[in-house]
């Protein structure tokens, strides 16, 4: 894969400046805590689960995406965690990460993506390992030998390209599922990187599940642009979560009582 004209405008972050990060960066935005804490079956979301399953099956032939959109507490994270279990059972590499409202920085979410222990354990091919390491170096601010003279804008595009190559290379060996919670809080560089990945190689076996608070996302230009791009390409199914009915709420409360007991 080579660099393409994606229409992306570089951010103000400086790519190419040395950082304190190491080759094996540490995940800062993992969903591990949520994965451990969630118990019980998903209540009241059979249509959403069916839609996720359908797009997941299609992802083996090319990139597909699903958004889970709704107000805080509506159940987006629970569906995302349930999807993590489904994709793992179906042989995908499930990388579950979450953005943070109070913690941000250049490529912060992307760093957690590539530092995911699940992703690294799934890499058994030398070429894939090398591609991921090049992407890690680029998003961490380490300039490739011989490319020091590139402008900051070109270095940023190079980072996008290397990230896209790395994810596509991993997906060539084993289908990849990227599950991202609270996308509205993601850093602009990661959002631009995801947009580049989608536009650069939509044939990759990659499944995206993006949990979003619509009211807040409307104020994040890069997130809106990412979803709009996928809609134009016919790659995304947008699921708007409504509130549970009385019986479903009662079942949810029953599960919560069992967990506390």
- Residue 205 placed within a domain: yes
Has residue 226 been placed in a domain?
yes
Tell me, yes or no, whether 5 lies in a domain.
no
Fill in the DSSP letter of residue 142. P
Write down the pLDDT at residue 3.
41
SS3 228: helix
CATH number at residue 160: 3.40.50.300
Whether residue 220 lies inside any domain: the answer is yes
Write down the pTM of the prediction.
0.82
Residue 252 lies inside a defined structural domain of this protein = yes
Residue 203 lies in a domain: yes
pLDDT of residue 126: 93
Q: pLDDT tens, 166-180?
A: 999 999 999 999 999
The closest alpha carbon to 164, from 130, 141, 142, 132, belongs to 132
| Model confidence pLDDT, tens digit, residues 209-249 | 999 999 999 999 999 999 999 999 999 999 999 876 666 56
110: in domain: yes
- The answer to whether the beta carbons of residues 112 and 189 sit under 8 Å apart is no
pLDDT tens track for 83-122: 999 999 999 999 999 999 988 889 999 999 999 999 999 9
Give residue 109's domain range: 32-260
Closest by CA to 182, choosing from 58, 97, 88, is 97
Question: Is residue 7 assigned to a domain?
Answer: no
Domain count across the chain: 1
Reported as a single tens digit per residue, the pLDDT across 30-61 is 555 455 445 567 767 889 999 999 999 999 99
């Amino acid at each position: 894969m080579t660099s393409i004209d994606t229409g992306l405008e570089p951010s103000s972050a400086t790519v190419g400046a040395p950082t304190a990060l190491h080759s094996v960066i540490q995940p800062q935005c993992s969903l591990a805590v949520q994965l451990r804490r969630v118990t019980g079956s998903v209540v009241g979301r059979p249509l959403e689960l069916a839609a996720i399953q359908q797009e997941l099956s299609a992802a083996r032939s090319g990139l597909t995406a699903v958004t889970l959109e709704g107000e805080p507490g509506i159940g987006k994270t629970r569906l995302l965690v349930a999807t993590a279990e489904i994709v793992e059972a179906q042989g995908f590499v499930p990388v579950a990460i979450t953005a943070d409202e109070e913690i941000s920085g250049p490529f912060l979410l992307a760093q957690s993506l590539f530092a995911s222990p699940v992703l690294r354990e799934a890499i058994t091919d030398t070429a894939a390992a090398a591609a991921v390491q090049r992407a890690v170096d680029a998003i961490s601010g380490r300039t490739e030998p011989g490319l020091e003279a590139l402008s900051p804008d070109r270095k940023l595009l190079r980072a996008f390209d290397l990230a896209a190559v790395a994810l596509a290379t991993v997906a060539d060996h084993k289908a990849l599922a990227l599950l991202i919670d609270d996308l509205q809080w993601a850093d602009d560089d990661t959002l631009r990187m995801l947009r580049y990945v989608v536009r650069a190689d939509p044939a990759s076996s990659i499944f995206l599940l993006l949990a979003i608070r619509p009211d807040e996302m409307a104020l994040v230009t890069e997130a809106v642009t990412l979803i709009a791009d996928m809609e134009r390409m016919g790659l995304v199914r947008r699921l708007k979560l409504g509130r549970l009915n009385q019986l479903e709420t009662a079942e949810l409360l029953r599960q919560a009582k069992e967990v506390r007991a």
